[in-house]
Amino acid sequence: MRRLLGLVPLLAAASSAPSACSFHTATEAEIRMDGGISVDVRAPTGGNPFQSDAHVTCVATNAMTSNLPPDILIVLDRSGSMKEDLSGVMCSDPNVGCGATSKWAIATSTLATFLPTVQANVNWGLKLFASETNGCNVSGAAEVAPRVNNAAAINQVLGVTMAGSSTPTTAALKAAAGYLKTLTDPNPKFILLATDGIPTCGTSPCAAGVNTGTMTNQCDDANAIAMVTSVHDMGFPTFVLGIGTSKSPGDGTLSTMAVRGGYPRQGTPSYYPIDKPQDLTDAFQAITGMVSSCFFTISPALPAGQEVSGVTADGVDLPSSDYVITGGAGIQLVGQACADFMARKITDVAVQVSCNG
């Protein structure tokens, strides 16, 4: 059985407080022969209606008419190679690195400039990996919990943190997802992985010619790819940024991770390559605009036995390449579909829900 569930977009520019929704018991006239009901829910201030063609045993008609900023947890690599410049060259003493031109300095200074401009539209959080210098351990907590207006808190932590660990990407993704699962807010949740190299802290020797810069030189590519896939299936899509990696041996691994994470970049490579400081700003802007403007929430999240089977735009079925399903929480328009929605060429988006129970 397929039903249509209309969705309300989360708009980045919105600044109004959430509006409550009112509901009423369906009248006899509203109940159809198949036992379903047609519900028209409007915000008290009057806005676009949420239309739901939902069977009472299939989709709950609880419209989310308020704007919810996404929770984005920045999972930032602080490995020793982040002391290098963007070309992968260590400029001076390995203990000092390249100073202001290092990958670490470029990443932290970009965040210091960028986050204040979007902190009202996104609940930014921060997770560093590894959690110790010269080690592989990753703690289960976030250094900064996702919240609105969080730029100062994040920049304060970054200001007292130095690069110098290994690159336990698999453990970092696992810890990030575990942490996000503890959050009880209804906001859509994403991981933004920013790393400068292939995953280490594994149990297998790296491929010939690959030097991770660690004593053990143990790579973990396959496990990292499997973990980002698992994290996505848990409902936490992952964006992948590669800082100075477009010519490194880890390029293919990061591209595969970006695809498995659910939000590959349009073009080649599939991750966001950072080859100069402006690339990092551009990547953050693109990702912020995407999740703030083209994400549509399903509220409440679909329970077991119900799944998204399709998406329509102004009544026309979209190809599966035009959207990404983010767990049971919603869908994300991508590519031209997202561009058309932002340009208001698409005004009505609806999700088709299959009931398997």
% of the chain beyond a pLDDT of 90: 46
Q: Indicate the length of the chain as a whole number.
A: 357
* Sheet architecture: strand order including 238-243: 144-147, 123-129, 71-77, 189-195, 238-243, 272-274
Residues 276-292 pLDDT 10s: 999 999 999 999 987 87
Q: Is residue 322 part of a domain?
A: no
Residue entry with tokens 């390559």: 273
**Would you say residue 159 has pLDDT above 90?**
yes
168 vs 223: CA distance, rounded Å? 10
Same domain membership, residue 121 and residue 46: no
**Would you say residue 354 has pLDDT above 50?**
yes
pLDDT (0 to 100) of residue 108: 96
Q: The domain containing residue 49 runs over which residues?
A: 17-66
Q: Is residue 305 part of a domain?
A: no
Residue 172 has a CB neighbour count (10 Å cut-off) of 27
In sequence order, the 6+-apart residues with CB closer than 8 A to the CB of 236 are: 176, 177, 180, 189, 190, 191, 327
45 vs 259: CA distance, rounded Å? 41
Same domain membership, residue 153 and residue 21: no
Task: Count the helix, strand and coil residues of the chain and give each as a percent rounded to the nearest 5.
Answer: 30, 25, 45
Same domain membership, residue 119 and residue 52: no
DSSP type of residue 77:
E
Q: Is residue 238 part of a domain?
A: yes
Same domain membership, residue 120 and residue 107: yes
- Which of 250, 275, 292 is the last residue before a domain boundary? 292
pTM (2 d.p.): 0.73
Same domain membership, residue 170 and residue 32: no
Asked if residues 141 and 126 have their Cβ atoms less than 8 Å apart, the reply is no
Which among 37-46, 60-69, 174-183, 212-221 has the top mean pLDDT?
Answer: 174-183
Q: What does the longest C-alpha to C-alpha distance in the chain come to?
A: 79
Q: What is the CATH number of the domain that holds 188?
A: 3.40.50.410
Amino acid letter at 316?
Answer: V
283 vs 22: CA distance, rounded Å? 39
Confidence of residue 5 (pLDDT cuts 50, 70, 90): low
CA 120 to mean position of chain CA atoms:
17
304 vs 226: CA distance, rounded Å? 23
Q: Is residue 323 part of a domain?
A: no
In sequence order, the 6+-apart residues with CB closer than 8 A to the CB of 168 are: 129, 130, 136, 137, 138, 199, 200, 201, 220
Same domain membership, residue 278 and residue 237: yes
185 vs 251: CA distance, rounded Å? 35
Confidence of residue 45 (pLDDT cuts 50, 70, 90): very low
Same domain membership, residue 151 and residue 121: yes
| DSSP SS3 for 282 | helix
Same domain membership, residue 272 and residue 206: yes
Same domain membership, residue 92 and residue 27: no
Asked if residues 65 and 21 have their Cβ atoms less than 8 Å apart, the reply is yes
DSSP type of residue 147:
E
Same domain membership, residue 238 and residue 133: yes
Residue 138 has a CB neighbour count (10 Å cut-off) of 24
More confident residue, 231 or 206: 231
236 vs 221: CA distance, rounded Å? 20
Q: Is residue 297 part of a domain?
A: no
Domain total in the chain: 2
**Angle at alpha carbon of residue 69, lines to 66 and 73, rounded to 5°:** 155
309 vs 88: CA distance, rounded Å? 45
Same domain membership, residue 47 and residue 81: no
Confidence of residue 357 (pLDDT cuts 50, 70, 90): low
Same domain membership, residue 255 and residue 205: yes
346 vs 235: CA distance, rounded Å? 26
In sequence order, the 6+-apart residues with CB closer than 8 A to the CB of 332 are: 237, 262, 263, 290, 291, 294, 295, 296, 323, 324, 326, 338
- Which of 277, 292, 307 is the last residue before a domain boundary? 292
Q: Is residue 75 part of a domain?
A: yes
